[in-house]
């Protein structure tokens, strides 16, 4: 009996070996889902407008120097003002060409006020498919900064409150609402910027710089205080999220829409289906930080939805 069972066991093992050699085993590797943990990517590095108008950046109607083709795409990296590359890859199972990691992306826009609050900007969103794909207009619109501070930039956690100035142990003079340092710490500050101020005898608040006397003295309005101090903290110029975004048209691309974008001092979102695109760029204009109520230092973040 034992001899017979041994023979059966050998036959079973042999059958398994033969079957395994005839059948190609495919191990499926599922891509990780990022529904809950999609990280925010830097889509446009902090900078003022790219040009006075969209046409100053990409001339789609020009005859002598048209720029609606792939070769006219800005070749700079995002850090240097170029477009964002939606990374392509070859998933398990193999495809003839890379498959876009696109799908719906959510974009949020931040900026800085140089003219008190509610500074404005305009933008166009453009994209390109693979090499030789034409420039395609995805959306165009306008935005207004709200009063929800960015605090920390979501892609790297860097300071968005006192990116220009972050001074502690600042002397405050109650009678003239003047803040004073001795290290030229207010260099670069101009009237119209906003400052977050805290300290003894002060009500913590975001106030406006009305006068930049020199690199060591600034005067602010909107301060509530009761006396002098020598322990103030002054952070200039805080970034704020756009809370109002309006699109001129919603028929330029199959799926483009806005959410939470009606001025509630929260974070407005632009949703764009990037399927089939490899590159996306926000072209910012009407944001020179100097003219009328134009914002400056516009930054765009995005993540897969």
The residue from 237, 263, 285 where one domain ends is 237
If you average pLDDT over residues 164-192, what whole number do you get?
96
DSSP string, 135-166: PEEEEEEEEEEEEEE--B-TTT--BSSSSSEE
Can you give the pLDDT at residue 275?
87
Contact between 33 and 298 under an 8 Å Cβ cutoff? The reply is no
Considering the domain boundaries, does residue 114 fall inside one?
Answer: yes
- Asked whether residue 1 is assigned to any structural domain, the reply reads no
Q: Are residues 84 and 132 in the same domain?
A: yes
Q: Answer yes or no: is pLDDT of 19 > 70.
A: no
Are 218 and 83 part of one and the same domain?
Answer: no
* Residue 82, domain member (yes or no): yes
Q: What is the pLDDT of residues 232-256, one digit of tens each?
A: 999 999 999 999 999 998 889 998 9
If you average pLDDT over residues 59-76, what whole number do you get? Answer: 83
Q: Is the pLDDT of residue 7 over 70?
A: no
For residue 262, is it within any domain?
A: yes
pLDDT of residue 90: 42
In this structure, the answer to whether residues 63 and 143 fall within a common structural domain is yes
- Classify burial at 118, counting beta carbons within 10 Å of its beta carbon; exposed 0-12, middle 13-18, buried 19 or more: middle
Could you give the CA distance from residue 8 to residue 4 in angstroms, rounded to a whole number? Answer: 6
Q: What is the pLDDT of residues 256-292, one digit of tens each?
A: 999 999 999 999 999 999 988 989 999 999 999 988 8
CATH (domain of 175): 2.40.30.20
Residues 84 and 215 in one domain: no
Sign of CA dihedral 111, 265, 267, 269: negative
Top-confidence residue, 68 or 169: 169
The larger pLDDT score, comparing residue 102 to residue 71, is at 71
Domain co-membership, 226 together with 152: no
Is 282 a member of any domain? yes
Same-domain pairing of 248 and 207: no
Are 256 and 201 in a shared domain?
Answer: no
Confirm whether 8 is domain-assigned.
no
Please report which confidence band the pLDDT of residue 89 belongs to, taking 50, 70 and 90 as the band edges. very low
What pLDDT sits at residue 34?
46
Establish if 9 belongs to a structural domain: no
**Whether residue 81 sits in one domain with residue 47:** yes
In this prediction the pTM is 0.81
Within this chain, do residues 263 and 131 fall inside the same structural domain, yes or no?
yes
pLDDT at 94: 42
- What distance in Å separates the CA atoms of residue 85 and residue 98, rounded to the nearest whole number? 13
Residue 14 three-state SS: helix
Residue 24 has pLDDT above 60, yes or no: no
What pLDDT is recorded for position 1? 54
Question: Is pLDDT above 80 for 109?
Answer: yes
Q: Domain of residue 121: give its range.
A: 41-158+241-304
Residue 158's pLDDT band (boundaries 50, 70, 90)?
very high
114 and 55 belong to one structural domain: yes
pLDDT digits (tens, 9 = 90+) for 118-130: 999 999 999 998 7
The pLDDT of residue 39 is 83
pLDDT, mean of residues 4-13: 57
């Amino acid at each position: 009996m034992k001899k017979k069972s041994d023979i059966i066991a050998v036959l079973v093992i042999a059958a398994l070996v033969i079957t395994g050699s005839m059948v190609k085993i495919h191990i499926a590797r599922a891509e990780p889902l990022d529904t809950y943990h999609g990280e925010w990517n830097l889509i446009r590095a902090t900078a003022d407008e790219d040009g006075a108008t969209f046409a100053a950046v990409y001339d789609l109607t020009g005859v002598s120097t048209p720029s609606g083709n792939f070769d006219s795409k800005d070749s700079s990296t995002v850090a240097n003002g170029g477009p964002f590359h939606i990374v392509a890859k070859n998933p398990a199972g193999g495809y003839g060409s890379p498959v876009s990691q696109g799908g719906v992306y959510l974009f949020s826009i931040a900026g800085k006020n140089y003219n008190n609050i509610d500074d404005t900007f305009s933008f166009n969103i453009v994209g390109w498919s693979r090499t030789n794909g034409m420039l395609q207009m995805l959306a165009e619109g306008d935005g207004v900064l709200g009063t929800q501070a960015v605090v920390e930039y979501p892609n790297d956690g860097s300071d968005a409150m006192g990116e220009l100035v972050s001074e502690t142990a600042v002397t405050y003079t109650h009678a003239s609402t003047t803040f004073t340092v001795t290290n030229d710490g207010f260099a670069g500050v101009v009237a119209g910027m906003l400052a977050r101020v805290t300290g003894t005898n002060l009500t913590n608040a975001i106030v406006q710089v009305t006068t930049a006397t020199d690199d060591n003295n600034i005067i602010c309005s909107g301060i509530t205080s009761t006396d002098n101090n020598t322990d103030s903290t002054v952070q200039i110029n805080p970034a704020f999220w756009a809370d109002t975004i309006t699109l001129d048209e919603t028929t330029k691309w199959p799926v483009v829409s806005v959410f939470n974008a009606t001025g509630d001092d929260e974070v407005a979102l632009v949703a764009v289906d990037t399927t089939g695109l490899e590159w996306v760029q926000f072209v910012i204009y009407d944001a020179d930080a100097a003219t009328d109520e134009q914002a400056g230092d516009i930054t765009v973040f995005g993540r897969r939805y």
